[in-house]
Structure 1
């Protein structure tokens, strides 16, 4: 099985307020652990706005991390402090582990994410 087939059959689905988004997930230990978790049990959490650039909340699980100082840009999905997922609609520099990037160009991330809270579901691919 080539890598692309493997990614399609073993990916994580991200839904924000009922809208499924295309994501390019990173190939790292954090994403592998998250993929394993959501294959067993769907994860639905309510993220809350922080400042004017991100939505953040604890996943309720701890993931392995490879934090490094980096600048997140709109669409980035980061892991913060081993257990918090962060979805960016703006930019910020901090120590994160990169989980992926929302690659869905049909979505206005600011319209979708710039509100008090959003409901996010992470699930295994059907």
Structure 2
């Protein structure tokens, strides 16, 4: 799966779980584009539609991608802890680069398969 933020490709390590498998099946039909919004001072949140979840109380790091409440995709640019299902992680970027990418304004997220 490919992930773009504001039309910029991001390298992601995806988890191997039921939530990611369901997301992959969904985007085989058509790509997903989500208008994300800043929430608090640590994350971007957008509605992705219902996916299976296996929530656990976890601590997140900048770059983590999680599912919240079965239907919200969340990408972190700072640390946080709550009940989430892990989806993946943006790799190859520092905390400062992630803040520049995610922390200043709402973003447009696109996920698709080649």
1:74-104 deviation digits (Å, cap 9, x = unpaired): 0000000000000000011100000000013
Instruction: Map 1:49-64; keep pairs closer than 5 Å.
Output: 49-59=38-48, 61-64=49-52
Q: Give the drift of 1:34.
A: 0.2
Q: Give the drift of 1:105.
A: 2.8
CA distance in 1, matches of 2:13, 2:91: 6
Match of 1:113 in 2: 102
Q: Give the drift of 1:14.
A: 0.4
CA distance in 2, matches of 1:35, 1:50: 26
TM-score of the aligned structures, taking structure 2 as reference length: 0.95
How many residues are aligned here? 113
Q: Identify unmatched segments of 5+ residues in structure 2.
A: none
TM-score of the aligned structures, taking structure 1 as reference length: 0.86
Q: Identify unmatched segments of 5+ residues in structure 1.
A: 1-11
* Larger CA deviation: 105-114 vs 83-92: 105-114
Q: Tell whether 2:69 aligns with 1:81.
A: yes
Q: Which has the larger radius of gyration?
A: 1
1:47-94 deviation digits (Å, cap 9, x = unpaired): 0001110000111x2000000000111000000000000000001110
CA distance in 2, matches of 1:119, 1:105: 18
Match of 2:85 in 1: 97
Q: Tell whether 2:14 aligns with 1:25.
A: yes
CA distance in 2, matches of 1:38, 1:104: 24
